[in-house]
Amino acid sequence: MSQIANKGFILIVDDNPTNLSVLSEALASKGLRFRVAVDGESAIAQAERNQPELILLDIQMPGIDGFETCRRLKTNAVTQNIPIIFTTALTDIESKTKGFVLGAVDYISKPFAQEEVIARVRVHLRLKQLNESLEQQVRDRTAALQQAQVQLVQQEKLSTLGELIAGIAHEMNNPITFISSNIPPLEEYIAGVTEILQLYEQEYPHPTAKITTAIEKLDLKFVLQDILKILTSFKVGTERIENVSNSLRTFSRLDSDTKIPADLHQGLDSTLMILQHRLKDNGNRTCIEVIKNYGKLPEVNCYLGQMNQVFMNILANAIDAIDEAIVKDTMSHKSPQIQITTETDSQNQVVIRIADNGMGVPERLKQRLFEPLFTTKPVGKGTGLGLSIAHQIVVEKHNGTLEVNSHIGMGTEFTITIPI
Ligand SMILES: Nc1ncnc2c1ncn2[C@@H]1O[C@H](COP(=O)(O)OP(=O)(O)O)[C@@H](O)[C@H]1O
Ligand SMILES: [Mg+2]
């Protein structure tokens, strides 16, 4: 007969030395590891400390009997999943039934037949292993399913939102173009009209009283100067709207099925533009200074829309961390700051670091940041999805890495690397 693999041990509970030696010899002959307990109480204590794979439990013992021992083991969360086989001289049906009712998986009658002991132990060890692997599989699948669901929902939201934003950006474009494209001719016309007015003044230095009054009433000199200023502000304003519209379009870029070469700086900038309102001073704090240490980056083959989502999630968290530090008053001597550093490294990767000087992350939570649904923020504020999605996009979609480095109270730095 082949050896039965068992990593753990079997606990034999019996007060009778002869029974103990028969059972232990049987197990030892097959290379099975075992420990012994000579009464119910110490069996429970042992099983709690160190869970055996299986318990061989005698029924008649001094102190609490096997039935009571079984009952206690089955009501204890730590020991309740350990299979119990009763070893019993009691051959009456009632005792056997009672054992099963209490949760035993089998019984072996005394006097022991070595072959029977081994056979039954074998079956139940195997059953337990199968059971455990099944449970593990269910846990793994459930986790995978949960993750897939989270991603699906998020992707669905993102693509809807992306389409909406792209649509708005597109619709904004037409009216802005009406205005911006008409500014140069308007400038020209006004210059022309001004010139003619000046010419009139020169050629007819003494206009009628009616005209003089009208000129004074309007304050013509001021109006002519102010028109130029107004035109300039039109230009600045439309340029700004055009920038926003371009950022929205870059940001919401609906990704194609394949990666395309893209400028990650453009992605970072459009994300910052969209977050502009959150960076401004908000009554509690001064505006967050964004320091860009942009290196020279080549275009990177990527899904830019998704990479923007990564930047957005990390930058939004950085702003949250600064705001939280302000509320908790842990940055009285610092002015709020976000630093973005980009470079290429020796392994032909793009490296992007986004660092804030906010709250920081406690050491014990660092491992959990990328878990789906992990959040330390109040309900309604945090979803716990940002970093898990960022991680998935960087690692799975772009074969990159996403790492966090943080010191509580000092700040946090996320490092993204993407192969070029
Ligand atoms: N820059 C940061 N500084 C401090 N903590 C952070 C930072 N970024 C993320 N965290 C922590 O990681 C958690 C998970 O982040 P995330 O997945 O984006 O979910 P959410 O922002 O919805 O909570 C946050 O709740 C926060 O505790
Ligand atoms: Mg977040």
Tens-digit pLDDT profile for residues 90-116: 677 888 889 999 999 999 988 888 899
The residue whose CA has the least distance to atom 7 of ligand 1 is 317
Amino acid 119: pLDDT? 93
Q: Tell me the average pLDDT of the chain.
A: 90
- Of the candidate ranges 121-125, 219-223, 253-257, 325-329, the one whose mean pLDDT is the lowest: 253-257
Query: Which among 110, 104, 67, 65 has a CA at the least distance from the CA of 84?
Result: 104
Amino acid 156: pLDDT? 72
The residue whose CA has the least distance to atom 1 of ligand 1 is 318
Contact 303, 397 (CB under 8 A): yes
Supply 335's token pair.
């002015």
Does residue 264 have a pLDDT over 70?
Answer: yes
* Ligand at shortest distance from the CA of 374: 1
Amino acid 306: pLDDT? 86
| Percent of the chain topping pLDDT 70 | 97
Does residue 19 have a pLDDT over 50?
Answer: yes
Amino acid 407: pLDDT? 93
Q: Region 362-382: what's the mean pLDDT?
A: 87
Which residues have C-beta atoms less than 6 Å from ligand 1? 313, 317-318, 321, 356, 358-361, 369, 374-377, 382-388, 412
The residue whose CA has the least distance to atom 10 of ligand 1 is 317
- Of the candidate ranges 69-78, 170-179, 253-262, 388-397, the one whose mean pLDDT is the lowest: 253-262
pLDDT band, residue 255 (cuts 50/70/90): low
**CA distance linking residue 127 with residue 104, whole number of Å:** 14
| Percent of the chain topping pLDDT 90 | 66
pLDDT band, residue 4 (cuts 50/70/90): very low
Highest mean pLDDT: which of 270-274, 394-398, 413-417?
Answer: 413-417
Does residue 89 have a pLDDT over 60?
Answer: yes
Pocket mutation for ligand 1, best pick of 375, 407, 413 (most atoms within 8 Å of C-beta) = 375
Burial 314-331 (b: 16+ CB within 10 A, else e): bbebbbbbbbbbbeeebb
pLDDT band, residue 6 (cuts 50/70/90): low
Amino acid 314: pLDDT? 96
pTM of the predicted protein model:
0.60
Pocket mutation for ligand 1, best pick of 369, 373, 408, 415 (most atoms within 8 Å of C-beta) = 369
pLDDT band, residue 2 (cuts 50/70/90): very low
Concatenated DSSP letters of 113-176: PHHHHHHHHHHHHHHHHHHHHHHHHHHHHHHHHHHHHHHHHHHHHHHHHHHHHHHHHHHHHHHH
**CA distance linking residue 56 with residue 59, whole number of Å:** 10
The residue whose CA has the least distance to atom 24 of ligand 1 is 375
Amino acid 279: pLDDT? 94
- Each residue's pLDDT tens digit, 169-197: 888 888 888 899 999 999 999 999 999 99
**CA distance linking residue 18 with residue 21, whole number of Å:** 5
DSSP state letter for 234: H
DSSP state letter for 41: H
- Of the candidate ranges 43-57, 103-117, 190-204, 309-323, the one whose mean pLDDT is the lowest: 103-117
pLDDT band, residue 244 (cuts 50/70/90): confident
Q: 65 in helix, strand or coil? A: coil
Q: Region 339-360: what's the mean pLDDT?
A: 96
Does residue 254 have a pLDDT over 70?
Answer: no
Amino acid 389: pLDDT? 85
Burial of 56 (C-beta count, 10 Å sphere; 0-12/13-18/19+): buried
pLDDT band, residue 150 (cuts 50/70/90): confident
Does residue 3 have a pLDDT over 60?
Answer: no
Interval between CA 118 and ligand 1 midpoint (Å): 54
Nearby residues for ligand 2 (ion, Cβ within 5 Å): 317, 386
pLDDT band, residue 253 (cuts 50/70/90): low
Amino acid 256: pLDDT? 67
